[in-house]
Amino acid sequence: MHVKKWTAAAVGAVLALSAAGTAVAHHSFATEFDRNKPIRLEGKVVKFEWVNPHSWIHLKTKDGTTWRVEGGAPSALLRRGWNRNSLPAGTDIIVDAFRARDGDTRASAAEIRFPNGRELSLGNPTTEAVAAAAKRGGQ
């Protein structure tokens, strides 16, 4: 009987810690990024991380700086026609994004463009809403 209680307590503790880690990892756009600090990044994809809760593009700009650009969840990207192989390393892209509040080389983007003019949404609904508001003049 004591073993069952101990096992249940251990399982409960693991689940609680897992949920806490997920809650800390997921954040609101306004907490981490500043819609008043837009930035355009041009460079080559170093790595594309197809992970939850947000995908990440690692982008090396012409000045040698590597940026981490947050996109939407893989499920949101799938609905927009993406897959885990959509951005192979070495792909040239242009990203209009919003800088991290802490000044780090992180940004959140709604869309990327390729040198040929093709555009793709990164599936981040919060960033897409901020970008739409900025196009309307912040209304």
For residue range 13-60, what is the model confidence (pLDDT) as tens digits? 444 444 444 444 555 777 889 989 999 999 999 999 999 988 999 999
pLDDT value for 111:
81
Scored b (16 or more CB within 10 A) or e, 10-48 reads eeeeeeeeeeeeeeeeeeebeebbbbeeeeebebebbeb
What is the mean predicted confidence (pLDDT) over 69-87? 90
State the average pLDDT for the chain. Answer: 79
Domains along the sequence of the chain with CATH? 29-135 (2.40.50.140)
pLDDT band for 133, please (50, 70, 90 cuts): low
* Higher-pLDDT residue of 2, 72: 72
User: Coil, strand, or helix at residue 69?
Assistant: strand
3-class state of residue 48 by DSSP: strand
- The token duo for 66 is 């590597």
Give the helix/strand (H/E) hosting 123: none
Residue 28's pLDDT is 72
